[in-house]
Structure 1
Amino acid sequence: MNSKRLKYLNVFTCKRFNVSTCRRGVTFVSAVILAAVISLSVWSALVLSDIILKSASVSKTEEEMEMIARGLLNFYRDSDQFPPNITALKSQPDSADYEGTASLQSYRQSRWDGPYLQDKYDDDGYAKDAWGTAYVYSYTAGAPTCTITSYGLNRTSGGGDDITIT
């Protein structure tokens, strides 16, 4: 018998009759392929989890900023001006923090009907975004609008990941 035919019969016999004398094991090439597949799977899982975590942080920050924006609008509705800072949504500011003459300041302070922002855990968590950076609140006295900004993941202004509500 030639060697090719003998090899074929040997493989056939090993598979067919489960003969224990057959060579078994993992070849080097199959081990390398297996390691590559496992590495690729782990890398993919890490990339996907990073994307999911970033997306969740953005969603949490946007939701919190919308809650702050509602509080700002309610403050404006009651006092006819935006608050001097975000903490004024939680506790009533002094009359000097309001715009206008002394009598107008006193009137605006009397119209305060807050708190306009509920802090579930009383930890001032509403003042920081999902990345632990303080929100930037911008209001110019007498202006009809204000802006809340989160600098996003990179924690600096710019970079394309800032979240702003006007």
Structure 2
Amino acid sequence: MKETAIFAGGCFWCMVKPFREYPGVISIVSGYTGGHTLNPTYEEVCQGITGHTEAVKIEFDPESLSYTDLLTIYWQQTDPTDAFGQFEDRGDSYRPVIFYSSEKQKELAQKSKQDLIDSNRYTDPIVTKIEPASEFFEAETYHQDFYLKNPSRYEQSSQRRKDFLENVWGE
């Protein structure tokens, strides 16, 4: 049995590797969701004309890795206080969103968000949205597993994120 989780947290290039490292993750696909255009392209999404955000769709084995575990990983990859993008990626297509596909996922996402608020880890408000999943469109092939195909460019594009996360969460 497998389940699906969809998370948006800025550039999808930076959202694949952190999840890939966990046993129980079956696949991760970079793509676009939450918009109003069918089959959007990267260029259209970046122009902000489709309403989509870059996201990752994760298929996982809940017997090995729970949705709650994935939520914990998610919070440790994003700046949940920034509604207008993530790190050097600015704009609506980079907004942080947890897309739920069931009432159980919605409840767990809301609880994890409240737990993060209650932790007082951040002084600014937690603004990450929790929204129902909508159609997910797979990104172009060159975006899939970008960190493996272009490691130096991936490192460059993810340095601000790494620095921020180490400051908030430690190593």
Larger radius of gyration: 1
Whichever structure has more strand as a proportion of its residues is 2
Whichever structure has more helix as a proportion of its residues is 1
Do they superpose with TM above 0.5? Answer: no
TM-score tier after normalising by the smaller chain length = under 0.3
TM value normalised by structure 2: 0.24
Higher relative contact order by CA 8 Å / sep ≥ 6: 1 or 2? 2
TM value normalised by structure 1: 0.25
